[in-house]
Amino acid sequence: MFDSHLRPLIERALKQSAETLAARNLSANWLTGCGFAAGMISALCVAFGAFPLALIFGTASRLLDGLDGMVARVNGPTALGGYLDILADFTFYAALPLAFVVYDPAQNGIAGAALLASFFVNASSFLGFAILAETHGRETAANGEKSHFHSVGLIEGTETIAFFAICMIWPALFPLLAPLFALLTIATVIQRTCLAWKTF
């Protein structure tokens, strides 16, 4: 919901860094890999209860996720880069709920399972919409230039990052907030499905 508003601010802040990295022939795929590694370390930190470290590595992961796309636009995007970016993002967002469950199965088990299920359904609707949009030759730049059609919705990257940051700062809130966030994610799926119904 807030991605389209915050993305121009973030891109302006990261523009110089992206241009510097691109000038040094640092590939976007390498940044994607570093962001993925930072995300997995963040998830491991959550699983072991090291929440301040989890927040630091999680933030680094998302910054690198922003940088890789900007570097790709400077150097020229590739289909493989787009695939790796999506894979890294979805793996990161799957690993964090699982990590909270591992950290405290008794308190977080059901909430984490509900959140993971909603993320799975959301990912299916997101990728399904992207495939249909590609088939029908539709394009959008609502959330910046992407290697795929990026459909907008109620819950997007900004909201998801904010949710996990809150849970890393106050872990006891996870079993309370995760079911609510799962419902909002399903609401996004319904919103996207209605859009697909009208569009296709």
Pair 123, 90: CB distance under 8 Å: yes
- Which CATH fold would you assign to the domain 3-199? Four Helix Bundle (Hemerythrin (Met), subunit A) (1.20.120)
Q: Which residues have CB under 8 Å from 70's CB, separation 6+?
A: 11, 14, 15, 18
Domain ranges within the chain, ordered by starting residue: 3-199
The tens digit of pLDDT for each residue in 184-196 reads 999 999 999 998 8
> What's the pTM?
0.84
Residue 145: enclosing H or E segment and its boundaries? Answer: none
The tens digit of pLDDT for each residue in 18-46 reads 777 777 877 889 999 999 999 999 999 99
- What is the maximum alpha-carbon separation in the chain? 50
Q: What's the Cα-to-Cα distance from 176 to each of 111, 167, 199, rounded to whole Å?
A: 8, 10, 36
Say which DSSP state 155 is in: S
**CA-CA distance, 40 to 90, in Å (whole number)?**
12
Pair 179, 111: CB distance under 8 Å: yes
Burial of 20 (0-12, 13-18, 19+ CB in 10 A): exposed
* Residue ranges in the chain whose pLDDT is less than 50: 2, 141, 143-144, 146-148
